Amino acid sequence: MSSFELICPAGSPAALRAAVDAGADAVYLGFRDETNARNFPGLNFSRPELAEAIAYAHARSVQVFVAINTYPQAGNLAPWQRAVDDAARLKADAVILADLGLLAYAAEHHPELRLHLSVQASAANAEAIRLYREAFGVRRVVLPRVLTVPEIARLNAEVDVETEVFVFGGLCPMAEGRCSLSSYATGLSPNKQGVCSPASHVRYEPRGEALASRLGGFTINVFGAGEPAGYPTLCKGRFVPGGGTSSDPAYLFEEPTSLNALALLPELKAAKVCALKIEGRQRGKAYIAAVVAAYRRALDAFDRGLPVPALDLEAMVEGGAQTTGAYTRAWR
């Protein structure tokens, strides 16, 4: 039996097929609306597409998880409840939820449906996780990307719930579900509208040989000639401190590095992590195919006790640099 389940993203039917064919154990995806935290134009699944996706995946023994992980708006619960009903009707293997009310709705109306707690719920301690387990029967928790590996190990020793951790892709450095930077700059947030730093508010401006990235009227970064560019996610901006008097812009919150925890497989196994998750429902199928295949090879080698092959994926990730993120953050 393999040490970990490999959970892979899909933003379109073609990306789902790419993930399944490249060796995913499960694929997570969302409906084409504000009920999921990757509500980007042209992305995600209609109901018929989900039905086809599930048929394709199940025929190859791959599971499908439906992320319904934004927070319903007051007085407008219907789209979120309908999403849970449809995921259950179409025989999704699990739904990934964050909102307490929606968890209660799913537990009550679809007792047979497997519930996973989204990273958006930011459940990072044993008491919180136990509560989700006892109140709603949550079977798995996706841990926020703020814990170290020893913390994850301690957590797993205390709770009777499977844990899933992010191992590759873009980083959201704050406690998920609690960040308001995007709302501040654009009025739209990942927690409500399912978009952080939405494309509708993004502009790229050439400035001679340089390229400026702007979000909602704020300059988030200026990339020099030939310097790798990035998306203007607010927490990954390079700013001039001191009211613009310094000439050296610096990253204020986080450098735009990308998570890669491949080197931590032995520690994650010892910490009793059940599933490894790849971020990137907004990325194209070429990216999905390459990353999933690379991780599949690495996990297969790990299971057979062979040396884990290094991933040659630097060129595909934002910032072109990789980090093990909070998992090994010494100052914590």
Partner 1 sequence: MRDPGFMVQDQAHETAPDPRARDVEVQLTRAGLGVARRLGDRAGGLLFDRLLRILEARHPRAFAALGELPDARLLIDPVDAPAALLLRVGPTLALRVCDRSAEAEATVRGPCARLLDLLEGRIDGDALFFRRELSIEGDTALILALRNTLDGEEMDLFGDVAAAAGPLRHALPVARRNAGRALDLLATARRFAPPPLRWGMTMLERRLTGPRQGA
Question: What phi, psi does 287 have (nearest 5°)?
Answer: -65, -50
- Is residue 181 within the footprint of ligand SF4 (CB under 6 A)? yes
Position 146 contacts ligand SF4 (CB under 6 A): no
- Partner touching 21 among partner 1, ligand SF4, none, CB below 5 to 8 Å by kind: partner 1
Query: In whole angstroms, how close is the CB of 169 to partner 1 at the nearest point?
Result: 11
**Token code pair at residue 230:** 């990035």
Q: Which segment (54-62, 178-186, 206-214, 319-327) binds ligand SF4 by CB under 6 A?
A: 178-186
**Residue 22 interacting partner from partner 1, ligand SF4, none (CB closer than 5 to 8 Å by kind):** partner 1
- Return the residue of 23, 72, 173, 237 that touches ligand SF4, per CB under 6 A: 173
- In the complex, what is the shortest distance from the CB of residue 173 to ligand SF4, in angstroms, rounded to a whole number? 5
- Nearest approach, Cβ of 310 to partner 1 (angstroms)? 13
Does the protein bind ligand SF4 through residue 152 (CB under 6 A)?
Answer: no
- What minimum distance in Å lies between the beta carbon of 138 and partner 1? 31
User: Which of partner 1, ligand SF4, none does residue 157 bind to, with CB < 5 to 8 Å depending on kind?
Assistant: none
Q: Residues 115 to 144: which contact ligand SF4 by CB under 6 A?
A: none
Rounded to a whole number of angstroms, the minimum distance from the CB of residue 69 to partner 1 is 19
CA distance between the termini of the chain: 34
Q: Does 222 bind ligand SF4 (CB under 6 A)?
A: no
Residues near partner 1 (CB under 8 A) are 11-15, 17-18, 21-22, 40-43, 49, 198-200, 202-206, 211, 223, 226-231, 282-287, 289-290, 293, 312-313, 315-320
Q: Does 179 bind ligand SF4 (CB under 6 A)?
A: yes
- Residue position matching structure tokens 């340089």: 210
Q: Does 10 bind ligand SF4 (CB under 6 A)?
A: no
> Per CB under 6 A, does 196 bind ligand SF4?
yes
Residue 171 identity (one-letter amino acid): L
Name the one range near ligand SF4 by CB under 6 A: 25-33, 232-240, 282-290, 310-318. Answer: 232-240
C-alpha separations of 159 from 53, 75, 89, 146, 285 in Å: 33, 35, 30, 18, 36
What is the closest distance, in whole angstroms, from the C-beta atom of residue 324 to partner 1 in the complex? 21
215 binds ligand SF4 (CB under 6 A): no
Question: Should residue 165 be labelled a site residue for ligand SF4 when binding is judged by CB under 6 A?
Answer: no
Report the interhelical angle of 149-158 vs 126-136 (nearest 10°). Answer: 40
List of long-range contacts for 70-73, beta carbons under 8 Å, 24+ apart: 70/34, 70/35, 70/36, 70/37, 70/39, 70/98, 70/99, 70/120, 70/190, 70/191, 70/192, 70/193, 70/194, 71/98, 71/99, 71/120, 71/177, 71/191, 71/192, 72/99, 72/101, 72/102, 73/192
State the minimum distance, in angstroms, from the CB of residue 145 to partner 1. 20
Interface contacts to ligand SF4, rule CB under 6 A: 172-174, 179, 181-182, 190, 196, 233-235
